Amino acid sequence: MARKIKHLIAGNWKMNGLKKDIKELRSLITKLDKAKTKPVCDILICPPATLIRSFYEEAKSSNIKIGGQDCHLQDFGAHTGDISAHMIKDSGGRYCIIGHSERRSDHEETSHKVRKKAAKAQEAGLCAIICVGETARERKMGKTNQIIGGQLKGSLPESALAKNTIIAYEPVWAIGTGLTPTSEQVAASHAYLRTKLIALMGSEGEKVKILYGGSVKPSNAAELMTIENVNGALVGGASLKAQDFYGIIKAL
Ligand code: PGA
């Protein structure tokens, strides 16, 4: 019998959002306040770094938590343009996405680097959302488990515990494309990651949330979220509009 883990619906705004877009957060808070039944999941929004503080101020009396999308692997210093995990924490963030496939490809982030960043995030008191996922080519070659297993092993810091670590399985080919794997494919990858987590972390690995990410929307959320070992979603495009994001939260 699988352990009951509370779902997390996390929004990743990527490089989207200006000051005016805080209205979407306000609208989400209103929808949650007005709802007859309280959401059964935890809710997180990771806006761009420029909006972390204002989102935190807006959401602090609600159930919505705020997080960052990346952090540097050092605490401070001569790293122009970067932000540290401590800065995210200081701005009100409680989580940080690490090693998203767009960071792995746009910024050539290796699992080794991801692991160091995740350790820094945890050290700063953030929960690290570590992303793994195969490309379409890797899946076609039958290498999905090898790729995601390797990324998980290489990216998981020694400090990883269920309370400071979340894994997001995001097939690269499903991100922003409208394509989603079949339920069987999602179930197989999540079961594999669960086995790997237990092998790496012992019984602690049974409690780590494994999110699914890649073209999650209100219309497919209910099916995806009931798959065994799927403990929530990492949502890109559909998290930008309160209406869509709320639709996903409500689907649970
Ligand atoms: P998407 O992005 O929901 O727009 O596919 C997911 C992600 O990259 O986290």
**For residue 230, what are the CA distances in angstroms to 10, 153, 181, 240?**
13, 19, 13, 22
**CA 242: distance to chain centroid?**
18
pLDDT above 70 covers a percentage of the chain that reads 99
Q: Which atom of ligand 1 is nearest to the CA of 177?
A: 5
Burial (CB < 10 A; 0-12, 13-18, 19+), residue 109, is buried
Q: Is 16 helix (H, G, I), strand (E, B) or coil?
A: coil
pLDDT at 3: 63
Q: Is residue 235 in contact with ligand 1, taking CB distance under 6 Å?
A: yes
Closest CA to 167 of 194, 185, 143: 194
78 Cα to the center of ligand 1, angstroms: 31
Q: Quick check: 219 pLDDT over 60?
A: yes
State pLDDT tens for residues 184-210: 999 999 999 999 999 999 999 999 999
Three-point CA angle 130, 140, 228, nearest 5°: 50
For residues 184 and 229, the answer to whether their CB atoms sit within 8 Å is no
Residue from 8, 9, 12 whose mutation best tests the ligand 1 pocket (most atoms within 8 A of CB): 12
Residue from 172, 175, 239 whose mutation best tests the ligand 1 pocket (most atoms within 8 A of CB): 175
125 Cα to the center of ligand 1, angstroms: 25
Q: Indicate which residues carry an active-site annotation.
A: 100, 170
Q: How far apart are CA 133 and CA 65, in angstroms?
A: 25
State pLDDT tens for residues 164-189: 999 999 999 999 999 999 999 999 99
Q: Is residue 175 in contact with ligand 1, taking CB distance under 6 Å?
A: yes
For residues 235 and 205, the answer to whether their CB atoms sit within 8 Å is no
